[in-house]
Amino acid sequence: MSVPIRRPRRRGGPYAWIVWGGVAFFLVNLLALILSVVVDSFATSWFGDWLPRGFTMRWYAEAWDEFGLGDVLRVTLVVALAVVLVALALGVPAAYALARRTFPGKRLVLLLLLLPVLLPPITYGIPLATVLYKFQLAGSMAGVIAANLVPALPFVVLVMTPFIEQIDTTIESAARMCGAGTRQVFLRVLVPLLVPGILAAGILVLVRTVAMFELTFLVAGPDSQTLVVALFSAAFTPGIRAAQAIDAMAVVYTMLSAALLAVALMFVNPTQIVAQVKETPVD
């Protein structure tokens, strides 16, 4: 006599359908919002109908000329690349010191590094902007770079510390036995092994800097605005501007952010970074 096989019951039931329904509703609304901006950026006119009366590329040319989109993109890339280079140059050695050295107050140092990453930028952005204005750095490219380094540098340190801890210390000991100094060990032994982590940290800082609005908005001047600040200014500064041109600028920003995010996901697995940060010892 055959014994009937009991199939396991699927758990979740109506609750799972409610969750997935909520997720689908959110994604549909998000997609509709993005599509409406994209379509409006190509529309000749669009009032109350399902589709515009015609399509044109004129608004992109107008956004390029009226808002100085070429200069804004140049400033954005210069600021982002400068922040990445300075943050890596200072953050990787600092991460090495935290990973390999034990000293009094190490727990406090790690806590201070976490604060700019976890706290909303506006909470420390206003005091930071006040200091930069006092030293006449606000309104310049240097001021924007300095402001963005405040969260970027601790982020690099926190990301790179687990990568350095995963490297066996016997490799460094063998290099020292062969006559290599600390600088040679760091540059010729550790840095080649840390290339994946350096790429991950650099790309994530690049994405964060391009998307950083609060700090950049508080210290940027007319000639040092990044794309996200220029988009805000175009949308909310008093004056008559074509909504389609502003939408064209928003599409350019969205495409730039999406491209950087796609590149970041090629090199970085966010879940792995979160797990590594959680496993980082603080004693």
What is the tens place of the pLDDT at every residue in 86-134? Answer: 999 999 988 888 888 888 888 888 888 888 888 889 889 999 999 999 9
Question: Tell me: the pLDDT tens digits for 9-68?
Answer: 555 567 888 888 888 999 898 888 888 888 878 887 777 677 777 788 888 888 888 888
Q: Give Cα separations from 21 to 9, 26, 170, 203 (angstroms).
A: 21, 9, 53, 34
Looking at residue 81, what is its pLDDT?
93
Nearest to 155 by CA among 101, 99, 117: 117
SS3 content of the chain, % helix, strand, coil (to 5): 75, 0, 25
At 55 the three-state DSSP class reads strand
Beta bridge partners of 43: 55
Give Cα separations from 86 to 50, 76, 192, 229 (angstroms).
49, 16, 19, 22
43: DSSP letter: B
pLDDT value, residue 154: 92
Domains, the chain: 14-56 (no CATH), 65-278 (1.10.3720.10)
**Model-level pTM?**
0.78
Pick the residue with more confidence: 264 or 193? 193
Count Cβ atoms below 10 Å from residue 136 Cβ, excluding itself.
Answer: 10
- Using alpha carbons only, what angle is made at residue 110 by residues 107 and 112, rounded to the nearest 5 degrees? 110
